[in-house]
């Protein structure tokens, strides 16, 4: 649903990287994990996909599975070559065995050659078999060098390790109301000089045409010195806010997406890290407030930050309106 365009005190911005044509948008602009919600076409897949970036950003389980599949496929390929040449060119194999046993012997010889282990009980004989084994050894050396580099790159790549609340809230604030969301670090890293930028994308009706307009959401505190605990980002809905002209029903029903960008300095990496996410109207809870998520330890020696309470909130009365959670 789009609402009629009314004069916004907050000036829209056009440098977000997203276009104003709402007719070509497919769902949200930014996924919750911060990736852009789009697919590219028009050129071959090998030109538009970076294998290196894909392997660096791949989930840990998928990354390990990809390595195992590549390792297994390579060994199957070379085992097939050895079997095609003839397993009689591999000394040490019992040729009285069944075909399956000979194939498996060729497979395990391939794995020993690929990893340069070479137990010695099976060895290639003949020029062609030695050439194949030498080629496989070279591929193994190069492959494990690449895999080692990828593992190091994944391990050492700076990340913010931020976790955002599942919902954004319209909560009472000062003499009015505010849009709020919460973020916290979930690893034992320490972020300093933390900056946040919020941009809202709205579908508005301009002269009978639905277009997407982007507006900055000014925060009460756009920068904090240290993110030791949680941080509740607060956008006070005043007359200067692009949300000021929207009623409760419009906020609940109109198409919107809040784009969140956080940048900080990681003391451990001595590097700048960043993380993005977004919220849609389906994640909006109108008339609620966040509950505390940290407390003093029982012995009083330290503070306990309970990350499972990051999204914990309760309904509150917002002026004369009844709290309406949106699921």
Angle (nearest 5°) at CA 206 between 200 and 212: 30
Query: In the prediction, which pLDDT does 52 show?
Result: 87
124 pLDDT more than 80:
yes
Q: Looking at residues 202-215, what average pLDDT do you find?
A: 83
Distances (CA, A) of 152 to 51, 62, 149: 16, 16, 5
The answer for residues whose C-beta is within 8 angstroms of residue 166's C-beta and 6 or more apart is 283, 310, 311
Domain-wise residue ranges, the chain: 3-14+160-325, 58-156
Provide φ and ψ at 323, rounded to 5°.
-65, 130
Average of pLDDT values for 233-238?
Answer: 94
Q: How confident is the model at residue 63 (pLDDT cuts 50, 70, 90)?
A: very high
- pLDDT band at 22, cuts 50/70/90? low
Q: Which pLDDT band holds residue 221 (cuts at 50, 70, 90)?
A: very high
Given this model, what pLDDT does residue 250 score? Answer: 85
Architecture of the 3-14+160-325 domain: Sandwich (2.60)
* The pLDDT of residue 101: 85
Return the higher-pLDDT residue of 83 and 167. Answer: 167
Closest listed residue to residue 82, CA positions, set 107, 117, 119: 107
Q: What's the pLDDT score for residue 327?
A: 44
Give me the residue label for tokens 């604030």.
173
CA distance to 11, 34, 90, 322, per residue, from 195 (Å) = 21, 16, 63, 34
3-state secondary structure 15-41: CCCCCCEHHHCCCCCECCCCCECCCCC
Q: Return the closest-CA partner of residue 257 out of 318, 168, 170, 188.
A: 168
* Class of CATH domain 58-156: mainly alpha
pLDDT band at residue 280 under the 50/70/90 scheme: very high
The reported pLDDT for the residue numbered 208 is 77
Query: In whole angstroms, what is the distance from residue 152 CA to residue 145 CA?
Result: 11
How many Å apart are CA 308 and CA 236, to the nearest integer? Answer: 26
The more confidently predicted of residues 158 and 308 is 308
Rounded percentage of the chain residues whose pLDDT exceeds 70: 92
Indicate the range of 36-40, 58-62, 189-193 predicted with least confidence: 36-40
């Amino acid at each position: 649903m789009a609402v009629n365009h009314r004069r916004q005190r907050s000036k829209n911005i056009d440098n977000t990287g997203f276009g104003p044509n709402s007719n070509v948008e497919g769902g949200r602009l930014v996924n919750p994990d911060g990736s852009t919600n789009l697919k590219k076409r028009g050129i071959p897949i090998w030109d538009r996909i970076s294998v290196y970036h894909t392997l660096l950003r791949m989930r840990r389980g998928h990354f390990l599975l990809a390595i195992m599949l590549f390792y297994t496929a390579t060994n199957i390929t070379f085992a097939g070559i050895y079997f095609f040449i003839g397993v009689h060119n591999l000394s040490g194999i019992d040729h009285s065995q069944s075909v399956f046993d000979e194939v498996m012997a060729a497979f395990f010889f391939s794995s020993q050659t690929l990893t340069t282990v070479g137990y010695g009980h099976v060895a290639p004989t003949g020029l062609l078999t030695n050439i194949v084994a030498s080629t496989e050894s070279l591929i193994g050396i190069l492959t494990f060098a690449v895999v080692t580099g990828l593992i190091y790159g994944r391990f050492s790549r700076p990340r913010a390790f931020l976790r955002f609340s599942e919902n954004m809230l319209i909560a009472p604030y000062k003499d009015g109301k505010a849009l709020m969301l919460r973020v916290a670090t979930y690893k034992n890293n320490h972020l300093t000089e933390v900056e946040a930028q919020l941009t809202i994308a709205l579908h508005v009706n301009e002269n009978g045409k639905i277009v997407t307009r982007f507006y900055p959401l000014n925060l009460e505190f756009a920068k904090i010195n240290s993110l030791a605990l949680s941080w509740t980002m607060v956008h006070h809905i005043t007359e200067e806010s692009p949300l000021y002209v929207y009623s409760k029903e419009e906020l609940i029903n109109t198409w919107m997406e809040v784009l969140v960008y956080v940048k900080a300095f990681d003391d451990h990496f001595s590097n700048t890290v960043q993380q993005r996410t977004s919220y849609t109207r389906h994640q909006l809870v109108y008339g609620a407030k966040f509950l505390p998520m940290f407390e003093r330890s029982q012995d009083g020696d330290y503070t306990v930050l309970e990350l499972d309470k990051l999204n914990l909130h309760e309904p509150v009365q917002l002026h004369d309106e009844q709290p309406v959670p949106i699921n």
